[in-house]
Structure 1
């Protein structure tokens, strides 16, 4: 059965680019997710430099991710998903990040936004959304930032809501058929979470994403013009009377996938550099060597970077195991548990970002002047890391970590709304 035959009731994609991401054939879920990701990374490596230089959207790459089933890896098998683990997902992002930062970041954002129906409620109340997404192997967009306090829904006479307003940094949404939407409830005392098709009437995509790195992630601005949110679009919230603060575990999962991109980009830079120094000799190399890889100073410098990224990978694995253990017992997690998970993942993300920001620009120390040619594109790794890490400044993360580690007090998420409502 083809994708279109499965999906007769879903609206047509909003443009030809989104249509082109639809699977042409649906492969069975792989037995080994990381192996499948490595094979796709091999495919994606072809043309990756040119896509980066052109700022091209990875349309073909998203189609292949959907066909392979990687986009639905984290969904339970009983809901039609791949039944993979958090490690499977994180390592898949890391493998693709070695060769294609934009596609890897999009996959990572897909993972933690596709989990929103399972994060908002642990009892199965949103299972139909998951089944529909898994059945169609949707790639998910993200309209989920908490920063816009003017993005407020209004009641609709026939039920549900309408939304008018603008949100920036909507990663993946322009290439997705389905996206999360976070808005402030009309009473202005809690949030609502919804899932809508990106072809919904009233959505205006500005196509204004033009950063130095992750140029294909398409995190542009979207304006909502009286966009209808149907009652069935609104996700059930099962944690408390209403969502007055951040979604449990959403940022923690996000930190893991950010880290996967940071480490993958760093490993990619080192592998690119390794091949480069094996091919010739840079000016100023140690006397008597025929290739730069035999220069003892380059060897020592490369070793320093390699050791640092090994440490990041071990930290990554340890944190993934911890978070998976917590996720498996999610119905019994307390606010203190959520805080401990957040502190651990924030620390990981901070360490990985700092490691990547140290190594990715310094690979030029190994390479020589020829490596600065545009077509070599050695700066792609630093540009991607710098762009992603800038979304969450390290100094703020370190302040949170330091405060709680010094005082040994739990990290508690305060409500975003006052008890007497926000006017």
Structure 2
């Protein structure tokens, strides 16, 4: 398949910069750079292909991969805060980085003992930017065994975040006999893949989640990600939900901080028609100071919660070979609680940005609404009411979160 006319086509790398000593500082630097032009990219739904190239060149895409496999060896906290800092600059790019981190970790989720080392090393050597064609709820996407090994993929996947912008994408399909999942990875220019340009949401407008059509696409044997856990893969990957929820939370909190950054900049450097008596500017208006202090304090509390759950995930990941099913199931319940809290916080904080500029802030060129639109779009992906039900069952009844098989038993199979 040729993608030469696709404006989302990945750009070639110009350099491989050495890994930094401080990953979060690097992410913060990139986030500040990405803030420039973010409003214009949002309004025009411009794919952030140059920014993704910078993520690759900087080495940030390799942050979480182990050092002995060519990666940066960063911690869960490094990874989560890097997503937050990038999202603080541009929510779409933050979301794309979030999806990259937990899709590039799929080989690690499949095998805790480096059985998929060759895949990871290939990715780090090339500084691949990964995204996904992964939806456990899609039941009309199949992998049929091929006589030469591997599979042939057919079907349609909707809402595949970042896949058109990536060199490599994970792909999840049901085996044609409907007994288990097949997980693989493949280059996005593989013959038979067609990317539709149908991503047109209210927010995250640069995080291309277009529909992807597969028409007899070959997934070669060495592109199948070996499953090394007990039995066949019949349910959601271990750690998939937990990492995903933490990274979603990072995008929400990054959006909330971006709104506060914008409010601070406006209060210091601009004006509105009404001020409190005795105030000479927004920045010394006592009502504005009180309001900003309230919002800032609430986000700081959210960041503390974020750090706590991130530390719990790090501990769980470090002990992954020792955890029983109950211990594994507690991690996503706690991560979903964080995601629910962070989502609600972002949805409350981001629209209150308009309280600072007043009517001036509603000018379209200001794009002050994009922070709320980004948070609203992401929070709609997985309805919070579903997450809160699982969180409530954990909090009230100490019931770990477990995903059952997505396939019928022998007696139920058609």
TM-score of the superposed pair, with normalisation by structure 1: 0.95
What secondary structure is seen at the aligned counterpart in 2 of 1:24? Answer: coil
Q: Which string of whole-angstrom CA distances, capped at 9 and with x for unpartnered residues, describes residues 103-155 of structure 1?
A: 11111110000000110111222111100000000000200111111112112
Distance apart, 1:292 and its partner CA? 1.5
1:49 aligned residue: 39
Distance apart, 1:16 and its partner CA? 6.2
Distance apart, 1:42 and its partner CA? 2.4
Question: Contact between 1:26 and 1:68, CA under 8 Å: does it hold in 2?
Answer: yes
Distance apart, 1:14 and its partner CA? 6.4
Distance apart, 1:280 and its partner CA? 3.6
Distance apart, 1:262 and its partner CA? 0.5
Which of 377, 385, 394 is 2:375 aligned to?
A: 385
Q: Is the counterpart of residue 260 in structure 1 residue 250 in structure 2?
A: yes
What secondary structure is seen at the aligned counterpart in 2 of 1:201? Answer: coil
Question: Contact between 1:14 and 1:198, CA under 8 Å: does it hold in 2?
Answer: no
| Cα RMSD, aligned residues only | 1.5
1:142 aligned residue: 132
Q: Is the counterpart of residue 155 in structure 1 residue 124 in structure 2?
A: no
Question: Contact between 2:10 and 2:166, CA under 8 Å: does it hold in 1?
Answer: no
Question: Contact between 2:2 and 2:189, CA under 8 Å: does it hold in 1?
Answer: yes
Question: Contact between 1:13 and 1:198, CA under 8 Å: does it hold in 2?
Answer: no
2:103 aligned residue: 113
Distance change in 2, residues 1:124/1:20 (3 Å): closer
Instruction: Specify every segment of 5 or more residues in structure 1 that has no aligned partner in the other structure, as ranges.
Output: 1-10
Q: Which string of whole-angstrom CA distances, capped at 9 and with x for unpartnered residues, describes residues 320-368 of structure 1?
A: 1110111011112221112100111000000000000011011212221
Question: Contact between 2:10 and 2:165, CA under 8 Å: does it hold in 1?
Answer: no
1:313 aligned residue: 303
What secondary structure is seen at the aligned counterpart in 2 of 1:122? Answer: coil
2:363 aligned residue: 373
1: CA distance, partners of 2:10 / 2:404 = 42
Q: Is the counterpart of residue 68 in structure 1 residue 55 in structure 2?
A: no
Distance apart, 1:15 and its partner CA? 5.9
2:197 aligned residue: 207
2: CA distance, partners of 1:357 / 1:238 = 40
Distance apart, 1:252 and its partner CA? 0.8
2:166 aligned residue: 176
What secondary structure is seen at the aligned counterpart in 2 of 1:107? Answer: helix
Q: Is the counterpart of residue 338 in structure 1 residue 348 in structure 2?
A: no
What secondary structure is seen at the aligned counterpart in 2 of 1:409? Answer: coil
| Higher mean displacement: 31-40 or 259-268 | 31-40
| Higher mean displacement: 402-411 or 152-161 | 402-411
What secondary structure is seen at the aligned counterpart in 2 of 1:400? Answer: helix
Q: Which string of whole-angstrom CA distances, capped at 9 and with x for unpartnered residues, describes residues 134-190 of structure 1?
A: 000000020011111111211212222111100011111101111100000122111
Distance apart, 1:20 and its partner CA? 4.6
Q: Which string of whole-angstrom CA distances, capped at 9 and with x for unpartnered residues, describes residues 193-228 of structure 1?
A: 001111111001001111110000101000000111
What secondary structure is seen at the aligned counterpart in 2 of 1:182? Answer: strand
| Higher mean displacement: 24-33 or 299-308 | 299-308
Distance apart, 1:68 and its partner CA? 0.4
Question: Contact between 2:266 and 2:356, CA under 8 Å: does it hold in 1?
Answer: no
Distance apart, 1:409 and its partner CA? 2.5
1:123 aligned residue: 113
Distance apart, 1:12 and its partner CA? 8.5
Question: Contact between 1:170 and 1:222, CA under 8 Å: does it hold in 2?
Answer: yes
What secondary structure is seen at the aligned counterpart in 1 of 2:269? Answer: coil
What secondary structure is seen at the aligned counterpart in 2 of 1:193? Answer: strand
1:5 aligned residue: none
| Higher mean displacement: 300-309 or 240-249 | 300-309
Distance change in 2, residues 1:328/1:120 (3 Å): same
1:3 aligned residue: none
2: CA distance, partners of 1:69 / 1:15 = 27
Instruction: Specify every segment of 5 or more residues in structure 2 that has no aligned partner in the other structure, as ranges.
Output: none
Q: Is the counterpart of residue 401 in structure 1 residue 391 in structure 2?
A: yes
Q: Which string of whole-angstrom CA distances, capped at 9 and with x for unpartnered residues, describes residues 347-405 of structure 1?
A: 00000000000110112122210011111111010000000011111122112211222
What secondary structure is seen at the aligned counterpart in 2 of 1:330? Answer: coil
Which of 52, 67, 70 is 1:77 aligned to?
A: 67
2: CA distance, partners of 1:22 / 1:346 = 37
2:211 aligned residue: 221
